[in-house]
């Protein structure tokens, strides 16, 4: 892969990956809707609104692979989600098809499956159970990736990211945390593994408390180096005695499930 495009490069994950991937590929094209720090050697900087198809076509010109982090990264209004996460990802996949892009790594989310109970350990084969409008947009992106893989032969690698950071900061994140170096490894597998056609993996470190069976990632060579357990004692002590929401604590999606929740009975 000579030129790799990363959308959403101004976000927290994007800024970290900019450093992790610097020099790994000959050219790293960095794009966001907001201005970025100036390009360094081996970098190209681009400002593009994903809902603008003409701009997206220009953004993907000459690209071999795409890391798609762009879009709204949390729950929001339907109109905002629609334009950034649904229209935006369609534009990206269609422009990539037209440009002959060979590989797309899409940062989907645990919120695409957030309404699974925490007592249930799930793998990559479960059907989506989104917990929010944001989660619906990620499930849409997963389905769109399947279409473009089957119909057009693009290699699509979907990472259902749990929570990215230097360390987990609450009890829920003890189960879903991923460290920067572990996510960097998954990204490189998605770009470089020769046999990717359409794969779903979970973007989590090797957490002892994980809710996910990540065997599909391990099959492709993922060997996480980090685990949330060394942080568990301090995290749990800090939360001791804090009030808890019954819905947020029951489902994997946490507060995304509890927000706007009006169901009379709970679905397992």
Known catalytic residues are 134
Closest CA relative to residue 92, chosen from 5, 208, 19: 5
Question: 248 in helix, strand or coil?
Answer: helix
Contact predicate 51/87, CB 8 Å: yes
C-beta separation of 218 from 31 below 8 A:
no
Measure the CA–CA gap between 241 and 244, rounded to whole angstroms: 9
Q: How far apart are CA 22 and CA 28, in angstroms?
A: 7
Distance CA 171, CA 263 (A): 25
Helix (H) or strand (E) holding 178: strand 177-178
Distance between CA atoms of residues 174 and 212, nearest Å? 12
Which DSSP helix (H) or strand (E) runs through 109?
strand 103-109
DSSP letter at 112 equals: G
Determine the Cα angle at 68 with ends 65 and 71, to 5°: 155
The CA distances from residue 141 to 104, 231, 243, in Å, are 11, 33, 35
Q: What is the H or E stretch that residue 202 is in?
A: strand 198-203
152 SS3 class? helix
Write the Ramachandran bin of 218: left for phi over 0, alpha for psi from -120 to 50, otherwise beta. Answer: alpha
């Amino acid at each position: 892969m000579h030129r790799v495009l990363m959308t959403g490069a101004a976000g927290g994950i994007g800024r970290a990956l900019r450093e992790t991937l610097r020099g790994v590929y000959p050219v790293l094209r960095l794009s966001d809707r907001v201005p970025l720090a100036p390009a360094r050697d081996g970098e190209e900087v681009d400002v593009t609104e994903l809902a603008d198809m003409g701009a997206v076509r220009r953004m993907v010109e000459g690209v071999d692979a795409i890391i798609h982090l762009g879009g709204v990264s949390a729950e929001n209004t339907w109109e905002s989600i629609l334009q950034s996460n649904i229209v935006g990802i369609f534009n990206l996949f269609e422009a990539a098809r037209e440009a002959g892009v060979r590989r797309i790594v899409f940062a989907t989310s645990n919120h695409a499956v957030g309404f699974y109970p925490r007592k249930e350990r799930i793998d990559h084969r479960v059907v989506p159970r989104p917990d929010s409008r944001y989660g619906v947009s990620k499930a849409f992106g997963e389905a769109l990736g399947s279409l473009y893989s089957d119909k057009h032969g693009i290699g699509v690698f979907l990472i259902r990211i749990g929570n990215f950071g230097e360390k987990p900061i609450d009890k829920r994140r003890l189960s879903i945390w991923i460290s920067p170096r572990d996510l960097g490894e998954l990204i490189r597998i998605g770009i470089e593994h020769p046999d990717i056609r359409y794969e779903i993996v979970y973007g989590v470190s090797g957490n002892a408390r994980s809710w996910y069976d990540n065997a599909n990632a391990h099959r492709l060579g993922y060997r996480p180096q980090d685990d949330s357990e060394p942080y568990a004692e301090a995290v749990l002590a800090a939360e001791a005695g804090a009030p808890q929401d019954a819905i947020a604590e029951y489902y994997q999606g946490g507060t995304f499930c509890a927000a706007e929740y009006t169901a009379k009975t709970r679905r397992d």
